A and B are shown apart, each in its own frame.
Chain A
Amino acid sequence: MSTTALGRAATSGKLTAVVLFLPPALVLFTLFVILPVGEAAWYSGFNWNGFGRPTNWIGFTNYDYVFEARAFGLALRNNVLIIVISLGIQLPLALTLAILLAEKFRGAVALRMLFFLPYVLAEVATGLIFSFVYDGDYGLLAGVWRFFGAEPPHLLASTQTSMLAILIVVVWKYFGFHMMLFIAALQGQDQHLVEAARIDGASRWQVLRHITIPLLYPTIRLSVFFAVVGSLQLFDLVMPLTRGGPADSSQTMVSFLYSHGVTRMRIGYGSAIGVILFVICVTFAVTYKRWFMRDD
């Protein structure tokens, strides 16, 4: 019985398919995704500059250093700020625009494309464009301030305003992506419900409030998920704008990892930051999916 099954598997190439098709993905994934995470946990126990083998075992000391670092607290605060702005400003903006632009009228498609364009541009290019916009001597903002006869501010150079400047760019760059998610969902909605409600005398606002938006809840949950995950990864945008400065005031988790771990080749310390970020990401993804996205 088992030999015939094996024989059948051999002639149909089932075995060949498994043995031939799976290993490339398995090897690449294990080597460059799973192993490095395990190694980060291992390296984080050492004081190591990357040369030779790690020998100087210091236990959890690296984690103590991370938690004591002022920059870490700031990075954590900034990541939370990005999430708050994403949920409090970006998401309502994207939802409003989606509802306006899901209807068919002249110019709707062009506006959709314009609003989506920033999402396609590289973060680095976006960051550089806005470092021009914010430039106190040549920038657009300086132009506006000078028009009103005021002394132009240097937003990126002040610990008070650097993060505000970055938050504006975050909204500029990402609202179009969330808007497109909502538009795709709106266009998939069954119009019969809306028509029926309108015939029964519901106002536009009531339809929106009690039919359209509740039907969007799964998409809103997804949008929130992307906003949080995106915030935890934010790095490319920060580098051209502030590099996390001044005085670490605009550091994010990843830019903190880069400037305090990678550039100084403190493998153990940087790995400890990586492990903390890993734990935050995985905990969030797993609990969020379990609590909010069970039925999607």
Chain B
Amino acid sequence: MTDAAAASRPPFDRAALYRWLFLLFVAGFVAAPLIATLLGGFKSLGDLRTNPFGMPREWEWSNYADILLSKRYWRMLWNSFVISSLTTIITLIVAAMAAFVFAHLRFFGSRMLLNYFTMGLLFPAATAILPLFIKVRDLGLLDTYFGVVLPQVAFALAMSILLFRRFFRDLPHELLEAALVDGCSYPRFFRFVTLPLSTPILATVGTITFVHSWNSYLLPLVMLNSDAMYPWPLGIMVYQGEFTADWHLILAFITLTILPTFLLFVLAQKHIVAGLTVGAVKG
């Protein structure tokens, strides 16, 4: 009887057990800080001190409610939204136009110009942050959205142009030839044929640019100096500076500021993963 039961049971798979233990361990390592942050926002300070891991003893909804009702939270998110949207739109337009030229037109120096843009991939914005500050100041753009947006666009161009160019070149050549024979000009072809066919690459480049801009810290930190203009990564640091030891409030604030990123990620995970990894690889 026991022998028969043991024989019919699938053999105990030790490797599978170890695999699951390992995966669960890593999952715990990743998830624990996030879950503790979310729950911590519902606790009182005393509760947080004696019980950092468990469920809140009393659910303090007011921690979250006060932030959601405050003007600063929405102002920060609005600033971030404006900066990221402007950066994304301008990058898409400017990079797609330049990439179209590099993909379809040969002229004296075109290869050299493309290499010129590729240089932008070699170093981060931080290397030239001080001259960039002087430049933005001299242009009168300090403490304006465009003081952050224009440098962000400029540093996004190299990668974006390369991604667009590769995609444009892979579009069927017959399209362009037929259009030219029919008397369609290059600019019209770009507007009415290339762009409508390019939704996937527009989505990819748009995602990369938006996420980078939404999360960016150094450029706004140097270019903006009034609280009213701060995007959320700066605003959250100011908040933390004001409430240094009130961890329950800071945790609620962190949770609410990463909420938009989290929702976007859950809704558009395929696009985001593809954009951030495949985009990086092909760049």
| CB-contacts of B51-96 with A (<8 A) | 51-53, 93-95
B126 interface residue, CB < 8 Å from A?
Answer: yes
* Separation of A79 and B95 alpha carbons in the complex (Å): 32
- Please name the residue on chain A nearest to B266 by beta carbon: A113
A177 interface residue, CB < 8 Å from B?
Answer: yes
Chain A interface helix/strand/loop/mixed: helix
B100 A17 Cβ-Cβ under 8 A: yes
B175 interface residue, CB < 8 Å from A?
Answer: no
* Separation of A296 and B141 alpha carbons in the complex (Å): 41
B186 A17 Cβ-Cβ under 8 A: yes
B186 A267 Cβ-Cβ under 8 A: no
Chain B interface helix/strand/loop/mixed: helix
Inter-chain contacts of A222 with B (CB < 8 A): 281
Q: Closest CB-CB distance, B81 to chain A, in whole Å?
A: 14
Inter-chain contacts of B144 with A (CB < 8 A): none
Which candidate, A6-14, A191-199, A209-217, is the interface stretch facing chain B? A6-14
- Please name the residue on chain B nearest to A218 by beta carbon: B281
Inter-chain contacts of B48 with A (CB < 8 A): 138
* Separation of A236 and B215 alpha carbons in the complex (Å): 9
* Separation of A33 and B135 alpha carbons in the complex (Å): 11
Knowing A33-B120, A111-B27, A274-B127, say if A132 contacts B105 (CB, 8 Å): no
Which candidate, A19-27, A64-72, A81-89, is the interface stretch facing chain B? A19-27
* Separation of A254 and B217 alpha carbons in the complex (Å): 12
B161 interface residue, CB < 8 Å from A?
Answer: yes
| CB-contacts of B1-55 with A (<8 A) | 19, 22-23, 26-27, 29-34, 36-37, 40, 45, 48-49, 51-53
Q: Closest CB-CB distance, A241 to chain B, in whole Å?
A: 11
A120 interface residue, CB < 8 Å from B?
Answer: yes
A92 interface residue, CB < 8 Å from B?
Answer: no
Inter-chain contacts of A114 with B (CB < 8 A): 27, 30-31
A277 interface residue, CB < 8 Å from B?
Answer: yes
Q: Closest CB-CB distance, A71 to chain B, in whole Å?
A: 16
B131 interface residue, CB < 8 Å from A?
Answer: yes
Inter-chain contacts of B183 with A (CB < 8 A): 11
* Separation of A143 and B49 alpha carbons in the complex (Å): 8
Knowing A28-B157, A111-B23, A128-B236, say if A172 contacts B30 (CB, 8 Å): yes
A140 B33 Cβ-Cβ under 8 A: yes
Q: A26-B113, A129-B33, A172-B29 are in contact. List 19 more A-B contacts (CB 8 A).
A: A16-B185, A17-B105, A21-B97, A21-B98, A28-B153, A32-B153, A33-B119, A96-B22, A111-B23, A113-B273, A124-B236, A124-B237, A125-B258, A128-B236, A129-B34, A133-B33, A184-B277, A233-B126, A262-B129
Q: Offer 27 A-B interface pairs, CB within 8 angstroms, sorted by A.
A: A13-B186, A17-B187, A21-B98, A22-B97, A24-B93, A24-B98, A29-B116, A29-B157, A31-B135, A31-B150, A32-B132, A33-B157, A100-B19, A115-B27, A124-B237, A125-B254, A129-B37, A129-B254, A133-B33, A184-B278, A235-B218, A236-B233, A261-B130, A262-B133, A271-B130, A285-B122, A286-B122
